[in-house]
Amino acid sequence: MSEERYEKIRSIVASVYKVPLDTVSMDKSLNEIGKDSLDAVSLVFALEDEFQVSLPDECMDPTRSLRELAERVESLRAGAPPAATSGDS
Amino acid sequence: MRRVVVTGIGVVSAIGNTLPEFWASLSNGTTGIAPLTIADPGRFRFKRAAEVRGYDPLQHFDEKRADLLDRFAQFAVVAARAAVADAAVVWTPQLRERTAVITGSCTGGQSSEDAGFFHLYHERRPNVHPLTIPRTMANAGASHVTVEFGITGPSFTVSTACASATHALGQAFWLVRSGAVDMALAGGSEAPFSLGNLKAWDALRVVSADTCRPFSRNRSGMILGEGAAMLVLESHEAARARGARIWGEVVGFGMSSDAGHITQPNAEGAARAMRLALEDARLAPEAVGYVNAHGTGTAANDVTETQAIRALFGGHADVLAVSSTKAMHGHALGAAGALEAAATLLALHHGVLPPTVNYEEPDPQCALDVVPNQARPASVQHALSNSFAFGGMNAVLAFGAPR
Q: Do residue B130 and residue A42 have CB atoms under 8 angstroms apart?
A: yes
A15 touches chain B (CB under 8 A): no
Q: Give the per-residue pLDDT at B264.
A: 83
CA distance B359 to B23: 20
Question: pTM here?
Answer: 0.93
From chain B, pick out residues whose CB is under 8 angstroms from the CB of A85: none
Measured CA distances, A86 to A40, A83, B119, B315 (Å): 18, 10, 18, 67
Q: What is the pLDDT of residues A25-74, one digit of tens each?
A: 999 998 899 888 888 889 988 999 899 998 888 777 888 889 998 898 88
CA distance B216 to B297: 8
Lateral strand order in the sheet of B155-158 = B155-158, B99-104, B183-190, B227-235, B4-12, B248-257, B393-400, B382-389, B290-292, B321-323
A50 touches chain B (CB under 8 A): no
The vertex-B117 CA angle with B112 and B120, nearest 5°, equals 135
Put residue B330 in one of left, alpha, beta given phi > 0 → left and psi -120 to 50 → alpha. left
pLDDT band at A80 (very low <50, low <70, confident <90, very high): low
CA distance B335 to B345: 16
From chain B, pick out residues whose CB is under 8 angstroms from the CB of A34: none
CA distance B348 to B321: 12
A75 touches chain B (CB under 8 A): no
Residue B383 has pLDDT above 70, yes or no: yes
For residue B222, the cross-strand partners are B207
Interhelix angle A37-51/A66-77, nearest 10 degrees: 30
Helix (DSSP H) and strand (DSSP E) numbers for chain B: 14, 14
Residue B269 has pLDDT above 80, yes or no: yes
What is the torsional sign of CA A44, A45, A46, A48? positive
Residue B118 has pLDDT above 80, yes or no: yes
Cβ B99 vs Cβ B151: under 8 Å: yes
Q: Do residue A38 and residue B64 have CB atoms under 8 angstroms apart?
A: no
A4 touches chain B (CB under 8 A): no
Q: Do residue B131 and residue A87 have CB atoms under 8 angstroms apart?
A: no
Query: Distance (Å) from the C-alpha of residue B270 to the closest C-alpha of chain A?
Result: 45
Which of A31-40, B111-120, B223-232, B258-267 has the largest mean confidence?
B223-232
Chain B interface disruption, residue of A38, A41, A45, A49, most B CBs within 10 A: A45
Q: Give the per-residue pLDDT at B126.
A: 84
Q: Which residues of B are catalytic?
A: 162, 294, 331
| Chain A to chain B Cβ contacts (< 8 Å) | 24
Measured CA distances, B284 to B106, B272, B292, B310, B314 (Å): 33, 14, 17, 15, 12
Residue B115 has pLDDT above 60, yes or no: yes
- CA torsion B193-B195-B201-B202 (nearest 10°) is 130
DSSP B329-376: H-B-GGGHHHHHHHHHHHHHHHTEEPPBTT--SB-GGG-SB--BSS-E
Q: Give the per-residue pLDDT at A1.
A: 66
Q: Give the per-residue pLDDT at A87.
A: 45
Q: What is the pLDDT of residues B141-184, one digit of tens each?
A: 999 999 999 999 999 999 999 999 999 999 999 999 999 999 99
CA distance B346 to B288: 16
Query: Distance (Å) from the C-alpha of residue B133 to the closest C-alpha of chain A?
Result: 11
Gap between the terminal Cα atoms of chain B: 18
pLDDT band at B132 (very low <50, low <70, confident <90, very high): very high
Query: Distance (Å) from the C-alpha of residue B283 to the closest C-alpha of chain A?
Result: 51
Residue ranges in A1-89 assigned as alpha helix (H) = 3-17, 30-33, 37-51, 66-77
Query: Distance (Å) from the C-alpha of residue A84 to the closest C-alpha of chain B?
Result: 15
From chain B, pick out residues whose CB is under 8 angstroms from the CB of A20: none
- Report the complex ipTM: 0.74
Q: What is the pLDDT of residues B349-380, one digit of tens each?
A: 999 999 999 999 999 999 999 999 999 999 99
* Count of Cβ atoms closer than 10 Å to residue B392 Cβ: 21
More confident residue, B318 or B266: B318
CA nearest to A42 within chain B? B130
- The enclosing H or E element of B177 equals helix B164-178
- Structure letter (DSSP) for residue B224: B
Q: Do residue A48 and residue B127 have CB atoms under 8 angstroms apart?
A: yes
Measured CA distances, A18 to A53, A70, B61, B155, B296 (Å): 23, 19, 14, 30, 44
At CB < 8 Å, which residues of chain B contact A?
63-64, 68, 125-127, 129-131, 134
Nearest to B130 among A18, A41, A87 (CB): A41
Mean pLDDT across B240-256: 98
Q: Do residue A54 and residue B68 have CB atoms under 8 angstroms apart?
A: no
Burial B53-86 (b: 16+ CB within 10 A, else e): eebebeebbeeebebbbbbbbbbbbbbbbbbbeb
Backbone angles phi, psi at B218, to 5 degrees: -95, 25
Identity of the amino acid at B1? M
Interhelix angle B110-117/B195-204, nearest 10 degrees: 110
Choose the weakest-confidence range: A30-39, B33-42, B278-287: A30-39
Q: Do residue B126 and residue A48 have CB atoms under 8 angstroms apart?
A: yes
CA distance B148 to A52: 37
CA distance B222 to A66: 54
Secondary structure (3-state) at B9: strand
Q: Give the per-residue pLDDT at B401.
A: 98
Nearest to A38 among B63, B126, B131 (CB): B131
Q: Give the per-residue pLDDT at A84.
A: 46
Nearest to A18 among B63, B125, B131 (CB): B63
From chain A, pick out residues whose CB is under 8 angstroms from the CB of B64: 18
Sheet strands (E) in B15-146: 34-35, 48-49, 99-104
The vertex-B100 CA angle with B99 and B104, nearest 5°, equals 150
Q: How deeply is B187 buried, as exposed, middle or buried, from its count of CB atoms within 10 A (0-12, 13-18, 19+)?
A: buried
